[in-house]
Amino acid sequence: MNTHVMPLPLATLGTPLCIEGFAPGFDAQKRLAGMGIATGTRLQVLQQEGGNLVLALGASRLALSRAIAQKILVAPVGTHEEEAP
């Protein structure tokens, strides 16, 4: 596993990220995939206020609760496993 993987709320605002996976036992993956959030998706955290996160997925903006965001595991794009030399 990539050593730079972290829960989404720990990511620095504005950093390009790639979703590496989801926390074990998280069963809302199909629902998130319907919103464009799946393993391999690139995104950025634009805001973290009041426990909620505002994400940029391409030209779209999406808000998630911190509880759900905590289950999404991400890595900065430069450290994404598929991009490593």
Torsion of CA 50, 54, 79, 36, to 10 degrees: 130
Token digits of residue 31: 């629902």
**Residue-wise pLDDT tens digits, 11-48:** 999 999 999 999 998 888 888 999 999 999 999 999 99
Banded model confidence at residue 79, pLDDT cuts 50, 70, 90: low
Burial 33-69 (b: 16+ CB within 10 A, else e): eeeebeeebebbbeeeeeeebebbeeeeeeebeeebb
- Report the candidate in 76, 80, 72, 74 with the shortest Cα–Cα distance to residue 23: 72
Token digits of residue 19: 């979703």
| CATH numbers and ranges of domains, the chain | 6-83 (2.30.30.90)
pTM greater than 0.75 (yes/no): yes
Predicted pLDDT of residue 25: 84
